[in-house]
Each structure stands twice: as C-alpha cells, then as structure tokens.
Amino acid sequence: MRLLHTMLRVGDLERSLAFYSEVLGMRLLRRKDYPAGRFTLAFVGYGDESDTAVLELTHNWDTTAYDIGTGYGHIALGVDDIAATCDAISGKGGRVVRPPGPMKHGSTVIAFVEDPDGYKVELIQLSTRPDAAA
C-alpha cells in the first residue's frame, strides 16, 4: 500500500494550477474534464504518479468557493532553504502567512504559505530537521 494523492476542491482551476506550478514549482501531470458531472480533475506534483504522492485539484464547474472547515490541516513540503523559498514564493505573488522560524515547542524551522483558495501549505526546512517525526 502507498499514498496516491490528496484531493483539494478549488474554486478557480486555472488560478490554482498557476499557484501550484508557477509559485510552488509542481507540474501538471494530467487533467480531464467530466462534462456529464460538470467537474474537472487536475493532478499536480513533483514527480510521476507511479512513485510519488500528488495533489488532485477538483474543480466543480458550478462552485467558485468552499469553506475549508476546522478538520483540514495543511499540505507539507520539504525545502532546502526556507528563507529563499519564502522569498521566491512572495516574489511570484504567493502569500507567506507565517514567516520562517522554529515551530512552537520545538526546533524544526517551518513557514506557512496560503494557496488562492486559502489552503495552508507548510514549508519545512529539511537540513535542520532533528528527525522525521517533527
């Protein structure tokens, strides 16, 4: 068994694809419209679906916004240089909502950015992680 993907419902697919590809550097792996169901699925990620987990962006054609809810946490990305990554994200129009710094009650350096729909994406400084269970 392995993790295949995480699905997010997005209000504007083109805006979300621009964020995940141009701001976070993922690539569009596949996209398919389902006219009978009035939705589109787009899969983005850093590697092939055959060996890495990816994000499924689901766009329901008649819905432009969603309530995120209290159960959603965040997506996490490991980065080599968190300060430079945050600067690059800001430079591309991304929104850094928590600047880099140690996590509360710990030493792992993290930051948070927000996608166009308000989903949080955690950035984790890989070189300073004391362990994988942070």
Query: Could you list the active site residues?
Result: 122
CB-based contacts of 47: which residues, under 8 Å, 6+ apart? Answer: 54
Distance CA 97, CA 129 (A): 21
Strands (E), 10-133: 27-34, 39-45, 54-60, 75-79, 95-102, 109-114, 120-125
Give the distance from CA 85 to its chain's centroid: 14
